[in-house]
Amino acid sequence: MKRSIKTRLLGSHFIAIFLTVIVLEIICFISIKNYYYKNIEENIKTQAENSSQFYIKHFSNEDITLYADDLIQNLYNATNAEVQVIDKEGKLIRDSLGIEEGTDMEVYEDVKYVFKNRKVYEWIGTPNYTNEKCISISYPIWDYQKDKPNIIRIVVSLKPTDIFLDKLLMIFIAAGVFMITIISVVSISISNTIITPINSITNIAKKMAEGNFKEKATKKYNDEIGILSDTLNYMADEILKNENLKNEFISSISHELRTPLTSIKGWALTLERKDFTDERKRAEGLDIIVKESERLSNLVEDLLDFSRFQAGRIALNIEEVDLNELLSRTLNELEPRFERNNISLDRNFSEIHNIKGDKNRLKQVFINILDNALKFTEDGGIISVGLENNEKNVIISIKDTGCGISEEDLPNVLKKFYKVHSNKPGSGIGLAVCDEIIKLHHGKIEIESEFGTIVRIYLAYK
């Protein structure tokens, strides 16, 4: 059976509160009870001691039987308690309540203890001549013989005290119930401030799972649940952004595929005609079909690469790489395009050590970044390619004088499907693939844009 957080929270709170209140009340009640019992004990012990000292001082040479009535009367007046005088044989001499003289008192624990240990002793129990619980103090009184003590025994009924303590216990129980009720109500209120937002967030999450990302979680408190609300809302915004990027990507890819296919299909139908005999046009058409087929092949290869990177199925072919030679050869291959677009190329290479890497994948990165630079640099512009090193890294920098990237777009250019200029050709995954390749080489790509764009690629020596 599923138990909700609220049930577990309230259950644990109630158990903790209940046990705490019960333990505290038990401790308090026992402490108060002991205090009252101890107070009674100390009071009658003091009176017994005073009487014993008075007898020893003035009448120790006399038979205690002669002064038993005086001792009892004085103690009774001082304590309003039952007073007994017991001789050396443990027999009752006098009792303020009139218990029969000669009664054997050694049946009581406190009397036995005094005869055995010659020390004062207290006892709590029910005497055999009453049903009330009592506390008794037996105090030794020494006469001139000093062989064995007589005993003054004071017995106080605990019934009035116990009645008071019973009433106090009822007050404690009522106060405990009241405290538990109040604290439980407060706990329920506090738990609602936790559970209600969680339930709201859960409902919002379910709606998001169904595809409704317009619903937002309401942040009521600036705490962990508030942070969870912000995180959920941020997640929904990011999913919407990615959904839009995905849709733009599909639209862009569709366009990128349709354009060459249209050219290929158009020229194929033209070349199929029997009455088409213009050899110059035929050669031009075949050249367009070949180039557009290569363009389609490159686009499909980009998509396959991106799919492999996403699935983590790319393995690098690591070898010794001469970056001077690799970068120079790549620029030489692209040089006709620089000339065709009337863009100047500025090379600034330093002599650096070889690195370990995948030559083909690194060339793919250089071509992709240079292709973007060429795409967004106007006639008469300049693209500068630099190669330098520091203690840890080789740094490849590619700088153009193109239109640049806005501050808003700059943090997103390496994200998948993101296109800065939607009206320009491209799939939006080229830079994302480049970023993944460089990360596999334990490097990083940094992009700056103020006047034109600077792309820096950092590759570690080790």
pLDDT digits (tens, 9 = 90+) for 282-310: 888 888 888 888 777 877 777 777 777 66
What pLDDT shows up at residue 270? 81
Q: Which residues pair with 154 in a beta bridge?
A: 83, 137
Residue intervals in the chain for CATH 1.10.287.130: 224-310
Topology adopted by domain 224-310? Helix Hairpins (1.10.287)
Q: Judge whether residue 325 has pLDDT over 60.
A: yes
- Between CA 290 and CA 266 the distance in angstroms is 13
CA neighbours within 13 Å on the CB side: how many for 360?
6
Residue intervals in the chain for CATH 3.30.450.20: 5-163
379: which residues sit within 8 A by CB, 6+ positions away?
A: 341, 342, 343
Nearest residue to 400 (alpha-carbon basis) of 417, 384, 412, 389: 384
Q: Residue 274: phi, psi to the nearest 5?
A: -75, -25
pLDDT digits (tens, 9 = 90+) for 12-23: 878 888 888 899
Quick one: CATH architecture of 5-163? 2-Layer Sandwich (3.30)
Across the chain, mean pLDDT equals 82
Nearest residue to 414 (alpha-carbon basis) of 442, 443, 436, 383: 436
Q: Which residues pair with 153 in a beta bridge?
A: 84, 138
Tokens representing 55 are 């007898």
Q: What is the CATH number of domain 315-460?
A: 3.30.565.10
Q: Judge whether residue 423 has pLDDT over 60.
A: no
- Between CA 126 and CA 153 the distance in angstroms is 15
Residue intervals in the chain for CATH 3.30.565.10: 315-460
What are the E-state strand segments in 228-326? 319-321
3-state secondary structure of 450: strand
Q: Which residues pair with 149 in a beta bridge?
A: none
Residue that is written with structure tokens 């349709």 in the block: 258
What pLDDT shows up at residue 170? 93
